[in-house]
């Protein structure tokens, strides 16, 4: 299915570019951004706790809410500016599960939140059990 979607997206982009050029406008095709995500996102607001993994002093758990979740990672909001060089220990609660999902992630990106205060943080899972991946996949299928 993702291959089919990518194919359709590519065809639609090519048609749109042809229509733009037909109108006498120019398109810098190198500026067209392609989605790099490997799995679809589901918008959901679920509790997430994170802790920065560092060699130095112990860091504290910080609570937040997710913006969206995918099989490959999640996005959450926070008041704290986190470095993109940082790895996080994530723990989040999927509805209907009694045990939280635990994963180590790398911070893929961070940006100012749309509403002005705080930040949105995109994370990619780098260490997660197969069982937890399956539980996330089942949640995504139900959502």
Q: What is the per-residue pLDDT across 101-130, written as a single tens digit (0 to 9) for each? A: 999 999 999 999 887 789 999 999 999 999
Contact (Cβ atoms closer than 8 angstroms) between residue 64 and residue 73: no
Identify the CATH assignment for 42-142 out of 2.40.10.220, 3.40.630.30, 3.40.50.2300, 3.40.50.970: 2.40.10.220
pTM: 0.69
C-alpha 109/C-alpha 41 separation (Å) is 16
Q: What is the per-residue pLDDT across 77-99, written as a single tens digit (0 to 9) for each? A: 999 999 998 999 999 999 888 89
Beta bridge partners of 66: 76
């Amino acid at each position: 299915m993702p291959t089919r979607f990518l194919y359709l997206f590519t065809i639609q982009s090519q048609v749109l570019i042809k229509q733009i050029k037909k109108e006498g406008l120019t398109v810098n095709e190198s500026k067209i951004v392609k989605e790099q995500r490997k799995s679809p996102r589901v918008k959901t607001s679920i509790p997430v706790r994170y802790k920065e993994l560092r060699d130095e002093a112990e860091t504290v758990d910080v609570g937040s809410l997710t913006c969206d979740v995918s099989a490959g990672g999640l996005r959450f909001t926070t008041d704290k500016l986190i470095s993109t060089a940082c790895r996080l220990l994530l723990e989040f609660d999927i509805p209907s599960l009694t045990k939280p999902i635990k994963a180590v992630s790398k911070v893929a990106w961070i940006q100012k939140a749309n509403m002005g205060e705080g930040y949105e943080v995109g994370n990619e899972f780098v260490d997660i059990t197969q069982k937890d991946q399956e539980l996330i996949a089942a949640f995504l299928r139900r959502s």
